[in-house]
Structure 1
């Protein structure tokens, strides 16, 4: 009587024949092969273009293809975590697809290999669509690596199968180990080695990316020139003690963009082209941009995706070249009505009214924030800043080109997706103290917050407790019409549960409306209300 062949059963489920692993191992083979593809693709992309990494390329294409309501919902629900969640979702879908390919690889090898190769083709196609032909290289190499890995695992399993002479009888070694056990171990070793290759390739891509990032950071460590027109000191009374910082720490500055991977640009090879309907087209290197007269201004930025009471509003001290100097150099021709800006962020564009950069406001091409060169996530090496407009029409990061043109000729990224063409910032206010559902302490019974109406300014803030009358809040010192303004109101109500509602009035006399609207297509409206408890 002979022992059953271990080679004929290498997994927890009955195999399809000698040398065929069980379902779990077949699925794992597909996942590991896909992991090799992704890891190798990421490594190659770290040298070619980080945004051409297969998963990133596909994820970016999904962002472009997603309907506007889906994007708005993602930003509202997930905030700054929307991009990691999207990458995770793409990864989960890839794992499921790869596991299915692994399951069928032993019975339908060509189907599985074509499926793995298809992952590379899809990645290459989306990368080229959003970039250039060179961006296809990481995904094509990834597809080839994935096919090779799956072929290796299937072939290794086949070599582990017993021959016809040993199919019915398994030789036993002096230690009691069967030949089949050695074959199974060989297959598992191959699977583990392939997984190690996937991990090393992916990790290598991460290391290369961090080295490049560190190098870019070191190159910008020389600092920035002093402004020819420095910002005046912020008045001491602009900040209410214990309130939200008037100047937002750089690391806390809100960020909303379409980039899954933060662009990392070498300023030594970067240039900004300014052309279109101008008399004298201009191309500036980073050093040439820094050599121009620079202004320094405190400006509050707001995102159109900011919900009522939301956090997508921040203030900072910006350093940059005033648009007035650019207009003087290039000479804008009659008929132009739009400043159409191009980003190095996957083909992103924005349309800004020419009037907004030529009416005397402190519109600029910014190169610094709070005394330091822009961080990568803030738009290094240069970005636009136009006070009074939502970011999606004015504050293009990772700037590479500015074209003076007309609205009839050019339609920007978000306008194509049915967001508003014009984006003036709305008059808004927010309660920051106390936090919603928290308690006002007896020793500091104060309600406080911020209000903003950039390039118009705030002249009044009113607060209503429960269903009582509107009470005018105390305004902090006005630091400028392009900045938010803090406010406070002593609370004198009884102990217990209360509500507080706030509304602001800007310098034109317009009071923010009560009726709530969604952020799409031109920003959220409505009064911010919280519930709190008084001791």
Structure 2
């Protein structure tokens, strides 16, 4: 077997093993898939500046890019395994063991992992090594010490890869190797496809008849997007709502067995089932969520109508103690987020949400229940797939982001975003509509939005409908554009008259700030 075929054999065997492991994970727990397990560990170990760079550069494509990068690394090591197996099978098998050991350790050390978490990695190892052994045995090369040595006559240079087949014998042949490689490749495709189908089937939407709110809100008014389609909709559809979290998969949660426990510094530990939550008086609230990783002018912000139970109602059932200063919330996979208790219970409309925009929560947005707290960045307020809320202190417990030196108190900073025109756009002279969205959830909401052209005076824009201080406002400004290159900037002024700061700050550790300014060309 020459080097190219040896490397390709290692790659195909590895892909078969990975596909088999992915199928096993789809049947048990998607998070234990070898590639996803390694990817999740990479996320946890990646320094914060690198994470922020990836989010700013790739946006919501960061997760597929990460998975692709992990697969590239796996493929390279797989090629090495094939080359080593060409000399001695034990060496190639040893590389497979190392490849599988990493995801196996990562999977079993997850906070909520059980013994079954290692099964997908073991399946990947067995299938991968078996496929490699078969490919090595099918190879005609006498250079491989991985299989028993057989006498072989080389009749010519052309027959050196043809082996016994060229001589009419029945031993290993190049044709036999190619057939074996085709079978392994086909098996990898079938196993991988089956894994995707199983995962898709298990994560299909479970229709739940959510009760109506005790006092339903009136329908939202028509947004400016009716007049100016390039402005972000007043209410972002669920399918378009941003998603930023550390998960490479979407948890599959059985709503019938899901529970929420409130413990820690409480008078009495309480546990709620999903039916218990739905039996309470539900409320509707229009709230804009913002990710702390959102850069100035970024896309990680969205407005939605949430249906749920006031967080204070749940805490009152448990009885809040006197020591706690944080709510340490935990999701189904052990991810933790800390929320300042004082901010969660200061009268703002903090919710345990079960519905979003008139529908049950989508799985990617926290089904069956998540926290939604207005005015705070999501990394301290918006735990998805939540199963536990522990009242404790910051001295006693640190959450995922706290351990990574992000801020503990992180109010959302007022900001304005320009949706239209786009940066570097070419525009016709005449009236140009400059428009976008703005938010200021502290200090009276959005007072006004202002636009500045070429560093001139700030001019008031026209505002869209007012949905409340916890919700963003759409805005637009009619600009008489003259030929040439121009700079357009916008800022929000809150209800107390304070203008959005021009001081630039990166997202780490408490959110970005600064004025968005873009360049367009009119001509």
> What is the TM-score with the length of structure 1 in the denominator?
0.90
The CA deviation at 1:139 is: 0.4
User: Does structure 1 conserve the Cα–Cα contact (< 8 Å) formed by 2:429 and 2:481?
Assistant: no
1:233 aligned residue (219, 231, 244): 219
Equivalent residue of 1:492, what SS?
Answer: strand
1:35 paired with 2:23, answer no
**Aligned ranges 1:149-168 → 2 under 5 Å:** 149-157=131-139, 163-164=150-151, 166=153
Q: Distance in 2 between matches of 1:165 and 1:200?
A: 36
1:409 aligned residue (396, 403, 421): 396
Match of 2:118 in 1: 136
The CA deviation at 1:106 is: 2.4
Between 28-37 and 193-202, report the one with greater CA deviation.
193-202
1:306 paired with 2:288, answer no
> What is the TM-score with the length of structure 2 in the denominator?
0.92
> Alpha carbons of 1:288 and 1:132: their partners in 2 closer, same or farther (altered >3 Å)?
same
The CA deviation at 1:181 is: 9.2
> Alpha carbons of 1:351 and 1:181: their partners in 2 closer, same or farther (altered >3 Å)?
same
> Alpha carbons of 1:134 and 1:162: their partners in 2 closer, same or farther (altered >3 Å)?
closer
Between 246-255 and 113-122, report the one with greater CA deviation.
113-122
1:113 paired with 2:93, answer yes
> Alpha carbons of 1:313 and 1:164: their partners in 2 closer, same or farther (altered >3 Å)?
closer
The CA deviation at 1:167 is: 5.4
Match of 2:145 in 1: none
1:223 aligned residue (204, 209, 212): 209
1:451 paired with 2:446, answer no
The CA deviation at 1:236 is: 4.5
- Cα shift readout 1:196-248 (whole Å, capped 9, x = no counterpart): 2222222221121122123xx1xx32321011132233344776721321111
Match of 1:5 in 2: none
User: Does structure 2 conserve the Cα–Cα contact (< 8 Å) formed by 1:429 and 1:449?
Assistant: yes
**Rg larger in structure:** 1
Match of 2:233 in 1: 245
Match of 1:47 in 2: 27
User: Does structure 2 conserve the Cα–Cα contact (< 8 Å) formed by 1:446 and 1:491?
Assistant: yes
2:369 aligned residue (373, 376, 382): 382
The CA deviation at 1:476 is: 2.7
> Alpha carbons of 1:441 and 1:233: their partners in 2 closer, same or farther (altered >3 Å)?
farther
User: Does structure 1 conserve the Cα–Cα contact (< 8 Å) formed by 2:429 and 2:482?
Assistant: no
Number of positions where the alignment pairs a residue of Structure 1 with one of Structure 2: 507
User: Does structure 1 conserve the Cα–Cα contact (< 8 Å) formed by 2:140 and 2:174?
Assistant: no
Gaps of 5+ in 2: 143-147
User: Does structure 1 conserve the Cα–Cα contact (< 8 Å) formed by 2:431 and 2:481?
Assistant: no
- Cα shift readout 1:388-411 (whole Å, capped 9, x = no counterpart): 000000001111111111111111
Equivalent residue of 2:218, what SS?
Answer: coil
Match of 1:321 in 2: 309
Between 282-291 and 366-375, report the one with greater CA deviation.
282-291
2:487 aligned residue (491, 495, 499): 499
User: Does structure 2 conserve the Cα–Cα contact (< 8 Å) formed by 1:162 and 1:180?
Assistant: no
Equivalent residue of 1:179, what SS?
Answer: coil
Q: Distance in 2 between matches of 1:159 and 1:390?
A: 61
Match of 1:393 in 2: 380
> Alpha carbons of 1:492 and 1:115: their partners in 2 closer, same or farther (altered >3 Å)?
same
Q: Distance in 1 between matches of 2:283 and 2:303?
A: 16
User: Does structure 2 conserve the Cα–Cα contact (< 8 Å) formed by 1:238 and 1:479?
Assistant: no
Match of 1:146 in 2: 128
User: Does structure 1 conserve the Cα–Cα contact (< 8 Å) formed by 2:294 and 2:511?
Assistant: yes
> Alpha carbons of 1:153 and 1:461: their partners in 2 closer, same or farther (altered >3 Å)?
same
Superposition RMSD in Å = 2.3
Q: Distance in 2 between matches of 1:325 and 1:289?
A: 11
The CA deviation at 1:166 is: 4.8
User: Does structure 2 conserve the Cα–Cα contact (< 8 Å) formed by 1:49 and 1:135?
Assistant: yes
Match of 1:14 in 2: none
Equivalent residue of 2:322, what SS?
Answer: coil
- Cα shift readout 1:172-193 (whole Å, capped 9, x = no counterpart): 9xx9874389722122222222
